[in-house]
Structure 1
Amino acid sequence: MSDMLALDFMRNALLAAFLVGLAAPMVGIFLVQRRLSLIGDGLGHVALAGVAIGVITDSAPVWTGLAAAVLAGVAVELVRARGRTSGDIALALMFYGGIAAGVVIINRVDGTQTANLTGYLFGAITTTTRTDLGLFAVLCAAVVVVVTVLRQRLFAVAGDEEYARAAGLRVLALNITLSVLTAVTIVVAMRVIGLLLISALMIIPNAAAQQVSGSFRAATWWGVVLGMVSSVGGVVTSYYADTATGGTIVLLAIALFALAVAAGAARRALAAARHRHAERHPHEHGPGCGHEAVAHGDHVDYLHDGHRHAAHEGHYDEHADHAHTLDDPEEVHR
């Protein structure tokens, strides 16, 4: 590890991977909730067209890519909200339009600039400079701040737009904000993982997190942890295995997803076994039964032989050793 950290470009790469692993899942969790897992691919293809424009005009490809992705994201939300085109058709138009524009513009790129574009397509993390890191850090900080401030509103809109609208939330503005956050995340990540793969880092860690989490809040933080493990771990693995960094990051994320599925299945099997144990419990709990009573939301659990039992329709449920907070609208009971 020390030999890798001695290299300046690898230190830059690890910091860039950390930033991407932090930002991508924070935005992706809302895309998963809205069943828009492929929007990252669509915006990525549009961003590619913007990057190509930047390369041809010898301007900053990051900013032209960001401008193209933001405009496309806003356009999709406006079409979806005000037009007669459904969300999936609007997404398809953006997806194929981005590819077509990218192909046409890339066709004008000469041979000396092709390698530059390939780095954006598949990632070129080892070319990350200190200037790039500064820009990525600012964009990543903006994503984290906006998501933190608007998290509950974004969650409400992602869960049920009609309810959110009835509750007085500005649904269109929040959807546009999410699209802009997605575009910013894509631009931050394109040098690390590549425009063709960025959507995977926004979606897969969150899909894994949902396998082992019981609430939206827990899933959010687990997604961030798994995203950072995937991105930083992928960079380290690719350095020693001499593999493509973007592909290694995604494969590691998929491996973590497989482990999360197995862990989730084991947890559910254990919970079912404990529930069956509680149902067979012969002792009748109640005030004065001799066992400690513990307040648990809107009912009372009783501690008995290391277990927490709660009466429920003629049998006892086995409860975990933590209290659910009923005032948390994001709590998801399994």
Structure 2
Amino acid sequence: MSVLDYAFMQHALLAGLICAIVCPAAGLFITLRRLSLLADALAHICLAGVAAGLLAGFSPLLSAALFATGGAVGLELLREKYRHHAELAIAIMLSAGMAVGAILLSQGQGLNANVLSYFFGSIITIGTGDLKLMLLLCLPLLVLIYFLWDELFFITFDEENARLSGLPVRTLNIIFTSLTALTIAAAIRLVGILLVSSLMVLPVATAMQLSGSFRQTFTLSVLLAQAAVLAGLLFSFYFNLAPGGSIILCSIGLLLGTLGIKQASRRSKSDLLTRQT
């Protein structure tokens, strides 16, 4: 039978398509601002949201989205207080998310089995409702990037001058981080809380080795994420592996392969120049 003969694989592939577009799209702006750990902080806040949702009998994804959005606003307000030490704000929110999540999980009896699927991702639990919710959570970020590309580009590379030029930097930062938080909440169903930040960063890191412009990096990071997600889901299906781990290992493989090819290319060019001289 074909992979597509299974409904859960159809859902997983559609979920992967969505995540592989929006995660590197957000990850590019985060990475270039040297805020890669921001995704980790928001993911750990999602943990608290998932635990709260499971305890209350509420949708864990929706609960994670609400918690992550609140955490995103708090994180941006803290970043303003520690403008020259942004990593402190990220560390504070990451610690808070972990602490609240641990407390909530300790209060639940029999939640561990359900929580594991959110830690590492699960393709068999993604249903039609999850797909609709993922699309609803992810679409606003893509709309924001499309209509405010130039403004986000300016803030990414020169936040101080963007502020001096009159751009509402604080508002844009809060909106962007909040929508990124919604994206992370959506993606945890596929790749898991512990690995979602990797899907945002690794394709971007690989694309930065291959492209020469911001737009090229954006496009290539999405394509690389698509390749990693597709390969990871196929490996997960045929070898009974965790989907999140499979996807991230494929992303790491693409990165290592790219670095290896570039290194070999440099050596061959160096050897050629040595022979010519």
Deviations 1:256-299 (A, max 9, x none): 0112223444566788899x8xxx9xxxxxxxxxxxxxxxxxxx
Alpha-carbon separation, structure 1, partners of 2:269 and 2:214: 20
How far did residue 60 of structure 1 move?
A: 1.5
The residue that corresponds to 1:171 in the other structure is 169
- The question of whether the paired residues in 1 share the 8 Å contact of 2:49 and 2:65 is answered with yes
1:37 aligns with 2:9: no
How far did residue 3 of structure 1 move?
A: 2.3
Deviations 1:8-27 (A, max 9, x none): 11111111111111110000
- The question of whether the paired residues in 2 share the 8 Å contact of 1:56 and 1:109 is answered with yes
1:92 aligns with 2:68: no
What aligned pairs does 1:1-334 form with structure 2 within 5 A after superposition?
2-82=1-81, 86-111=85-110, 113-265=111-263
Partner amino acid, structure 1, of 2:133:
L
Q: CA RMSD in A?
A: 2.2
Deviations 1:78-104 (A, max 9, x none): 122146783111111111111111100
Distance 1:270 1:179, change over 3 A: farther
Structure 2 stretches lacking a partner, 5+ long: none
Distance 1:65 1:85, change over 3 A: farther
Alpha-carbon separation, structure 1, partners of 2:262 and 2:235: 26
Q: Which structure carries more relative contact order (alpha carbon 8 Å, separation 6+)?
A: 2
Larger radius of gyration: 1
Distance 1:175 1:58, change over 3 A: same
Alpha-carbon separation, structure 2, partners of 1:160 and 1:55: 41
How far did residue 191 of structure 1 move?
A: 0.6
Alpha-carbon separation, structure 1, partners of 2:269 and 2:38: 36
- The question of whether the paired residues in 2 share the 8 Å contact of 1:123 and 1:190 is answered with yes
Partner amino acid, structure 2, of 1:147:
I
The residue that corresponds to 1:321 in the other structure is none
SS of equivalent to 1:192: helix
How far did residue 240 of structure 1 move?
A: 0.9
Distance 1:144 1:266, change over 3 A: farther
TM value normalised by structure 2: 0.93
The residue that corresponds to 1:325 in the other structure is none
Report the structure, 1 or 2, having the larger strand content. 1
Distance 1:264 1:171, change over 3 A: farther
Deviations 1:110-154 (A, max 9, x none): 11x322211111111221001111111222222221111122211
Partner amino acid, structure 2, of 1:106:
L
SS of equivalent to 1:214: coil
The residue that corresponds to 1:312 in the other structure is none
Alpha-carbon separation, structure 1, partners of 2:220 and 2:16: 17
Structure 1 stretches lacking a partner, 5+ long: 281-334
Alpha-carbon separation, structure 1, partners of 2:170 and 2:205: 26
Alpha-carbon separation, structure 2, partners of 1:129 and 1:32: 31
Partner amino acid, structure 1, of 2:26:
V
Range moving further from structure 2, 197-206 or 113-122: 113-122
TM value normalised by structure 1: 0.77
